[in-house]
Amino acid sequence: MRRTSARLADGREIIYFDDVTQARSPLRDERPLGPRAEAGEMRFDALTGEWVAVASHRQNRTFLPPPDECPLCPTGRGSVPSEVPDPAYDVVVFENRFPSFSEGAADLLGSAVPEPLFATVPARGRCEVVCFTSDHDGQFAQLPPARVATVLEAWCDRTEELGRLAGVEYVFCFENRGPEIGVTLHHPHGQIYAYPYVPARTRAMLERAREHRAATGRLLGSDVLAAELAAGSRVVLRSEHWTAYAPFASRWPVEVHLVPNRAVPDLPSLDSPERADFAQVYPQLLRRLDLFHAAPVVADGPDAAPIPLPYIAGWHQAPVHDGREDWRLSLQITSILRAPGKLKYLAGSESGVGGWVTDVAPESVAARLRDLADA
């Protein structure tokens, strides 16, 4: 894998991660871009103890452009220059043009707000886009293992680099896939957020992990994995280095956790065999998920076409500075598609008070995904 860093016309960083080690000479970005956008502010919710980023400039971000105007394709493939100046790439990462958090977040005038219930601070951090392939019509599930390995190396690289930025407390690598999720660009890509705080769900998970360690002396994530393996009914697949299972208290109609069999706190802590095995296991899991809602194949009829599953796949890593000894890395994949053409809406109970009600038993999800092993 070869890493090459350059700058876009407005000063944002772009980093190429190439499958091969031969040198790359990035082309100059000649677009007449204006000043780069500055992130907005963060406001503290006194009722919940959570931070909310206010990023009004994101209202003008690119929304479902036609294929020939895709900003994530290599320049030269469409009718307009894209965010990637080069005519070809393997994996590329660049700073988001419309960031929720930015290193250049402006200082707020009078940041010491007189009213203590209205605390406001600059939204400092960083947001990056990760393009998994130059193929506009591709998908992660169809990437060859060598490319998946390059994507994983990019995630590891960015986790380490972003974690070293001043003020960054948490790094979250994730992929949104499908218009049902709210994707605004169809090109296969993910994002990385470097937060200036530990997000609420991560903080709650860390508190539970600490309580468990204090009571038992063991890692909560390791005990959960051992319990799922002992139960067996929710295990989807298991390789030498990874295990996938539908969690006992799944919230979403389709939810799968993929975890390394060895306890590690974050992506950079994975060793070479674990990384190589992930490149084989993860696409296999995604392909099964795309077949989850496909109709059964009948003997005298055509094969059922896969139904692209809308999903969010996010890496739960240890915070940058806190609780690393209590954390265990996991990849959570969730989908709101409860049946073909039917979405799980977060209505009154979920949105109002966080009282989750799931429509599908996780045991049936795991059984279905196990049945698809040879599909």
Residues at the annotated binding site for Zn(2+)?
Answer: 70, 73, 136, 187
The CA-to-CA distance between both ends of the chain, in Å, stands at 31
Helix (H, G, I), strand (E, B), or coil: what is residue 236?
A: strand
Neighbour count for residue 283 (Cβ, 10 Å) = 19
Asked if 212 is an active-site residue, the reply is no
Residues ≥6 apart with Cβ < 8 Å to 300: none
Quick one: which H or E segment has residue 50?
A: strand 50-54
How are beta strands 337-339 and 342-343 bridged, if at all?
antiparallel
Among 57, 186, 189, 212, the active-site one is 189
Nearest to 199 by CA among 37, 38, 42, 356: 42
CB 197 within 8 A of CB 170: yes
Length of the chain: 375
φ, ψ for residue 184 (rounded to 5)?
-105, -5
Sign of the CA dihedral 53, 59, 61, 67?
Answer: positive
**Which residues carry a binding-site annotation?**
70, 73, 136, 187
Three-state SS at 21: coil
At 43, give phi and psi (nearest 5°): -120, 140
Q: Which residues are catalytic?
A: 189
